[in-house]
Structure 1
């Protein structure tokens, strides 16, 4: 059996195993996360960080056209010194982010999912003041994207539980 035939055979076995266990794409036809796309109204942002977070959430979940759920959130950030020179100058910072959320059903007001996701990002402070500020803003924006992506992953992973 040639190498190409073995790969085709093994890929076929893998697909058969996934099909046999009930695997379905989350956003595919009949997928458990189908009720999220365009159905989650997200609280309006009131800060720059909130705006970046909501923009990414709407990019991933779609803007709510026929909302079934309301997503409330709270962002907490903390900055820690990471790299310090011998003369006690900080050259690198870590930004720690924590996103607490609640997903409520609009019809009943009941909380259907809640929790917290965390992530971190870092930036260099070894340039000019302007460069350091730009690097910090970029690190925080990257952090908002990471937090939004983790939240969407969690919502998709638990969508089947809500649907039951």
Structure 2
């Protein structure tokens, strides 16, 4: 059997196995992404980090136009020294973030889903004061995007249709 024929047979086999188990692409017709598009209202941000989180979340799920759910979240971020040079100066920091969230149907009190997402980013403190502040803000924005993507992944993997 030639290489391309093997690939075709293997692809057909995988497709039939996935179809048999009820697999459907999340962004495909009938996938979970369509049911959640514009259906979740995220709690208003109070910080720049929160604004970055909500912005990324809404980029992925859409702005709420017919919201059925409310997403409440709380964040804790710890900054840790990561590297120290021979002059005892800190040259790199880690930002470790944990985001606890709960998804509640509008008008209800009990959540249908809860979760806790954790991740980290780093930034360098070797430049000027301004460049270090810019690096820190960039790391915070990256962390917000990572955590928002993690929450969206959990929501899309759930069965909320």
Q: After TM superposition, is the score higher than 0.5?
A: yes
What SS does the corresponding residue of 2:88 show, helix, strand or coil?
coil
| Distance in 1 separating the partners of 2:108 and 2:80 | 41
Q: TM-score, normalised by structure 1?
A: 0.93
Which piece of structure 1 moves more, 34-43 or 24-33? 24-33
Deviation for aligned residue 1:27: 3.2
> Match for residue 138 of structure 2?
138
| Distance in 1 separating the partners of 2:27 and 2:102 | 22
| Distance in 2 separating the partners of 1:83 and 1:60 | 35
- Mapped contact 1:68–1:107 kept (Cα < 8 A): no
Is residue 52 of structure 1 aligned with residue 27 of structure 2? Answer: no
- Mapped contact 2:82–2:94 kept (Cα < 8 A): yes
> Match for residue 8 of structure 1?
8
Is residue 71 of structure 1 aligned with residue 71 of structure 2? Answer: yes
> Match for residue 87 of structure 1?
87
| Distance in 2 separating the partners of 1:6 and 1:96 | 46
Which piece of structure 1 moves more, 24-33 or 109-118? 24-33
Deviation for aligned residue 1:157: 1.4
What SS does the corresponding residue of 2:140 show, helix, strand or coil?
helix
Number of aligned residues: 161
| Distance in 1 separating the partners of 2:143 and 2:63 | 21
Structure 2 unaligned regions, length at least 5: none
Q: TM-score, normalised by structure 2?
A: 0.95
- Mapped contact 2:33–2:61 kept (Cα < 8 A): no
Once the two structures are superposed, residues 15-43 of structure 1 have per-residue CA deviations (whole angstroms, 9 ceiling, x without a partner) of 11111111011232222343211100111
Is residue 109 of structure 1 aligned with residue 133 of structure 2? Answer: no
Deviation for aligned residue 1:83: 0.6
- Mapped contact 1:38–1:67 kept (Cα < 8 A): yes
- Mapped contact 2:84–2:90 kept (Cα < 8 A): yes
Query: Deviating runs (4+, > 6 A) in structure 1?
Result: none
